[in-house]
Amino acid sequence: MDVINNIFLIGRQIIATVLGFFLPLPVVDAVIAIISMALVLGFAAVTMMGQVYVERRVLGFMQDRKGPNRVGPFGLLQIIADAIKLLTKEDIMPSRVDRMVFRLAPIVVVATALLIWAVVPLGRGMIIADLNIGILYVISISSVGVLGFLMAGWSSNNKYALLGSMRAAAQMVSYEIPLVLSIIGIIMLTGSLSTVSIVNAQAGLWFVIWQPLGFVIYFISAVAEINRSPFDLVEGESEIVAGYFIEYSGMRFALFYLGEYISAFAMSAIATTLFLGGWQGPILPPYIWFVIKAWAVFIVLIWIRATLPRLRVDQLMGLAWKVLIPLALINIFVTAVVLVPLFQSVAK
Amino acid sequence: MSEATATSGNTALDTKIKTDQIVVNMGPQHPSTHGVLRLMLTLDGETVVDAEVVLGYLHRGFEKLCEEGTYTQNISLTDRLDYFNSMNNNWAYVKAVEMIMGIEVPERAEYLRVIMSELQRLVSHLACTGFYVSDIGAMHTPLLYAFRQREEILDLFEMACGARMTCNYFRIGGVSKDVPDGWIARLKAFLDQLPSKIDELEGLLTGNEILVARSKGVGVMTSEMAINYSITGPCLRATGVQFDLRKDVPYSVYPRLSFNVPTLRNGDVMDRFLLRILEMRECVKIIKQAIEQLPEGEVRTPVPLNLRPPIGEALSRIEGPKGEMGYYVVSDGSIAPYRVHQRPPCFINLGIARELFIGTKVADVVAILASLDPIMGEVDR
Amino acid sequence: MTAIRSLVSPRLDVKSLPQAISESIVRVVESDPPMIYVIPDRLVEVCRSLKETVGLEFDYLIDVTSADYLDQLEVVYHLHSVPRGHALTLKVELDREEASVPSVTGIWRGADFQEREVYDLMGITFTGHPNLKRILLYDEFVGHPLRKDFALPKEDISSQIG
C-alpha cells in the first residue's frame, strides 16, 4: 500500500540515487526538477484534453443532447481531431495589428496558467517547489494573466477586442481583491503561506468547514478570475463576439483555449489545496484523491456554465465591490476573533 | 457624457478625463442579432450613446415577387417571411384574398386554422424565450429545453402538411388537406404534457437570480410609447394595454372559444417574456377547446385553379405571435395580385429599438433586441 | 375591466367626422372599415385631429403603405383606435412625377420606418421626416422597385446570368 501511495516519490528517489553515482548534487537536483516539471506539464496537457471532452459531454447531457460521439469510441478522439484541425489551419495575421504583441499574447496567457502548477501539491511530497510564499506566488502569477488579455485586445486593432480587454482588466483587477481577502482567513488559521503546510493543516477537518464563507467568496472570485460563465464577460460571445481573441485563428486561437482550460483546472486545484484538504483522504492514494477533488470542482464549473446567464458589466463590478469585499472583510474579522483561538485549541 | 471628472482631495490635481466615443458595428454578422440585423452603436465605454438600426441585408423583394405569381403561388412565398411563423403568415394572406372574394371557409377548416395558428404561436414563443436566455449568455441550455417542445410541434406540422417550417398549409378557401388519422390523438397527448414543460420554462426564467437581474427594469416602454410606435403583440401587452385582435377585432371562430388576454404592467424585458409564458398557457386552453368543438366535414371551399378575384382591396388583420399581422392586397381582376403589402410586426416593432437602446449598456442591447423578437426574414422581406 | 366585449368591432360613422376633417376629405368610399381620401396638403392636420378629437382617438397607426396605379400613386394609412375599437382607412392620391406628402411621424412615431420603406420602394417623399433615407435597399440603388414601370437595367440581368 505504501508503495502505491508513494510511487512517485520512490521513483524520484531511485532516479536521484542512480544519477548521484556519476553527477554532482546540484545537477541531480536540476535534472529531477526538469523531470518533475515535464511530468506536471504532461499532466496539465492531458488533463486539458480530458477537460474539453468532459465539458462537451457533460454539457451535452445537461442540455438533453449527446455531445461529441462520432470520432473514436464515445467520441474520445474528438479532441485529437480538433487539435489536428487547429494545428493545420492557416495562421491568419490581420493587417494593421501590432505583430510582436499579437504573437506574444497567447504565450503569456498559457505560460502564466502553467506557472501556477509549480506550487500545487499533487500528492504527499509531490510538488515542484514548496515555496514558503506559495499562495502569494499563485495570486501574483494569476494577476499577470490579465496582461496577456490586454496585449491580445490592444494589439488586435479591433473594437470588440478592445472592449473585451478593457472588461478583462476591470474584472480581474476587481476580483483579485476578494480572492486575496478570502484566502487570508486560511493563512490566519495555518500561519503559513506555503501550500504544503496548508494541506498538512487539513489532516483533521478541511478548511471548507472552518471557512465556508471564505470558500464561497474564493470560488466566486476565482470563477471571475478565470473568465468562466457567469463571469465570461471578457469573451461574451453574444455581446462582443469573442472579446479579446476575436482576431485570432488556428493555433494561436487554440492557445487561448489551452490557457483558459489550464487555468480553470489550476483554479480547481488551488481550491482543492486550500479548502478541500488537498491530497488528504482515506484508502485511495493521495494523488488519486487530489485528482478526484480537482475534477469535482471542475465539474461544478461546467454545471454553472450550463445553468447561469452572464452578468452585466456594472452588476459584475457591484458584486465584487459591494458584496464580496465586505463579506470577505467580515470573514477575516470572524476568523480573527472566533476561529483562530478555536482552531488552535482543537489543534492542540 | 463624454467627460468624466476625476475627483481627488487635492483640487490642483483635479483633471478632466477626456474619453472618446467609438462606433461599433454590431452585425450584420454577429451571434446575437438574430440573423443579419446591423446595429451601429456609438459607445462611450460600455454605455450606448446613440444607435442606428440598419436593415435590408435579407431583402428579397417579396412584395414585387407577389405581383408576378398567381394568388395561390404566393402562399408559399409568405412561408418564408417569418420562418418561425409560417402558419400565421399563410393565414393572414389567404384571409385578405378571401375578404376580396367574399369566400366562406368551411367550419372544420376554420378550427384547423385556429389550431395551427395557436401551435405556431407556441413555436414562436418557445423559440423566442429560448433564444433570449442563450443571448444573455446561458450557454443554450434553456434554448434546448424549449426546442424539445418545439420539435414535437414541428413533427405535428410535418404530419399535417409534409413540412416542418415552411408549411404552406393554408389555401384560399380552407386548408390544403385534412389532418391525417391519429393526428388529433397525438396533439392531445402533446398538450397533456405541455403545461408542466411551460412551468419548467417559467422556472428557468423567474428562478434564475442573474437572469432576473439582467431583465428587470431593462428596456422599459410605457403603454403610450408602445401605442405611438405601433408596437403590437406581447411587447404591447407587457405594458398593460389589453389589445389583442382575437378579442378586439374578432375573426374566425375565436369568439366561440373562451380565453384570456393576459397583460402585465412593467413593460420591461422580463415582463415581455413572462407575458409570452402566460400566452403559451392560453394557447393550450384554446387548442383544447378547438379540438373539442372540431366538427366533421369539408376542409376546403372549391375555388378555380386560376383564381380571378373581383376588383377590390382588403387589409386582413390577425394576431400573430409577434404582433398584428396583416396583408394589404389589391386585386385588378387578373390572375395575379396587383399589389401585395405585408404589415410586418417584426419590422414595425424594431422601430422603437433605437429609443430603448440609448443610455443602456452593450449587454442590455442584446437583451432588449431579443425581447422585441425580430425575425429578419420578415423584417427585410 | 374589458371582460365583456361586443363580438362585432364598432364601426365609425364617416358622416359624423368633425368639420375640420370633413372639409379636407376628397371623397368617401363605403367599405369595412370606411375609407376616406384626403387632400395631401391637409394630411397632417387631419391626422392630428383624428388622433386628438375625443370620440375618434385614432392612436394606433396600423400600417403605412402605397400603391402605384400608373396614372397616380396612392399612400394608404390604416388607422385603429385602441380605446374605441374602430378603424379607418385613409388614402392620399399623389402625382406620379412629384410624389410628395407631409410626414406623419410627428403624430405617430411608428410611421418612421414605414414611411422610409414607402420612400425606398415606391419613391414617395415624405416632407418633414427626420431621417428619410433608404431602409431595405442599399443607398446606391437606382429607382424604386415597387413602381409598375420599374425594370432592372439590362446589364444587371446579363451580369447575373453570366
| pLDDT tens per residue, range B235-253 | 999 998 888 888 888 888 8
**DSSP-based three-state secondary structure for B25:** strand
> Kind of pairing, strands C35-38 and C87-94?
parallel
Contact residues, A window 225-284, toward B, CB-based 8 Å cutoff? 229-230, 232-233, 236-241
User: Rounded to an integer, what distance in angstroms lies between the CA atom of residue B85 and that of residue B375?
Assistant: 9
Chain B partners (3+ C-beta pairs within 8 A): A, C
* Euclidean distance between CA atoms B30 and C16, whole angstroms: 53
Distance between CA atoms of residues B234 and B237, nearest Å: 5
Amino acid at B200: E
Query: Is 70 exceeded by the pLDDT of residue B10?
Result: no
Q: Which of B286, B275, B168 is nearest to B215 (CA)?
A: B275
N-terminal to C-terminal alpha carbon distance within chain C: 64
- Read off φ and ψ for residue A122, nearest 5 degrees: -80, -15
pLDDT digits (tens, 9 = 90+) for B159-170: 888 888 888 888
Predicted confidence at residue B1, as pLDDT, reads 37
DSSP C31-78: -SS-EEEE-GGGHHHHHHHHHHSTTT---EEEEEEEEE-SS-EEEEEE
* Residues of C with Cβ-Cβ distance to B315 under 8 angstroms: 62-63, 78, 89
- pLDDT given at position C54: 80
Query: Best mutation site among A239, A241, A307, A317 for testing chain B: the one with the most B CBs within 10 Å?
Result: A239
Any A CB within 8 A of B184 CB:
no
Q: How many CB atoms lie within 10 A of CB B144?
A: 18
Q: Which of A163, A167, A227, A310 to substitute to test the interface with B, most B CBs within 10 Å?
A: A310
Task: Sort out which chain C residues have CB atoms less than 8 A from B339's CB and list them.
Answer: 67-68, 146
The grid cell for C44 is 397632417
Of C7, C59, C146, the CB nearest to B250: C7
H-run or E-run covering A223? helix A212-225
In 10 A of CB A242, how many CB atoms? 19
Q: Report mean pLDDT in 10-residue bins for chain C, 162 residues.
A: 46 76 80 85 86 84 88 89 85 86 88 89 88 86 84 63 50
Would you state the cell numbers that stand for residue A245, as one nine-digit string?
Answer: 481573441
Beta strands B339-343; B324-331: pairing state? antiparallel
Mean pLDDT of chain A: 83
Cβ of residue B139 closer than 8 Å to a chain A Cβ: yes
- Grid coordinates given for B81: 417571411
pLDDT of residue B3: 39
Phi-psi region of C123 (alpha: psi -120 to 50; beta: other; left: phi over 0): left
| Cβ atoms of B160 and B187 closer than 8 Å | no
Nearest-CB residue to B315 (from C78, C111, C135): C78
Q: Which of residues 41-100 of C touch B (CB under 8 A)?
A: 59-63, 65, 67-68, 76, 78, 82, 85, 87, 89
Neighbouring residues of A84: CB distance < 8 A, sequence distance ≥ 6: none
Q: Is A211 in contact with A336 (CB distance < 8 Å)?
A: no
Nearest residue in chain C measured CA to CA from B256: C7
The ipTM, to two decimals, is: 0.83
Of B88, B160, B156, nearest to B117 by C-alpha is: B88
In tens, the pLDDT along A90-119 reads 888 888 888 888 888 888 888 888 888 888
Write down the pLDDT at residue A97: 82
Residues B193, B196: Cα–Cα separation, whole Å: 6
- Give me the count of residues in chain B: 381
CA separation for the pair A49, A145 (Å, rounded):
21
Residue A347 has pLDDT above 70, yes or no: no
- Asked whether the predicted pLDDT for residue A66 surpasses 70, the reply is yes
Q: In the numeric block, which cell numbers belong to residue C88?
A: 379607418
In sequence order, which residues have a C-beta less than 8 Å from that of residue A238 and are 6 or more positions away? A310, B31, B32, B134, B135, B136, B137, B366
Within 10 angstroms of residue B348's Cβ, the number of other Cβ atoms is: 28
Which comes out higher in pLDDT, residue A60 or C15?
A: A60
Name the grid cell of C119: 420612400
Q: What is the pTM of this model?
A: 0.84
Report the distance separating Cα C63 and Cα B315, nearest Å: 10
Flag if B362 and A240 touch (Cβ within 8 Å): yes
Contact status of B308 with chain A (Cβ, < 8 Å): no
From the list B284, B319, B90, the residue with the least C-alpha distance to B187 is B284
Angle between helices A159-190 and A212-225 (to 10 degrees): 150
Q: Does A56 touch chain B (CB under 8 A)?
A: no
**Residues C82, B227: C-beta atoms closer than 8 Å:** yes
- Grid cell for residue A151: 496585449
For chain C, say whether B330 makes contact (Cβ under 8 Å). Answer: yes
Kind plus residue range of the DSSP H or E element containing B302: none
Task: Please give the pLDDT value at position A87.
Answer: 84
> Is B46 at the interface with chain A, CB within 8 A?
yes
> In this prediction, what percent of chain B has a pLDDT beyond 90?
9
What would the pLDDT profile of C5-36 be if each residue is shown by its tens digit? 444 567 777 777 777 777 888 888 888 788 88
Query: CA-CA distance, A213 to A330, in Å (whole number)?
Result: 9
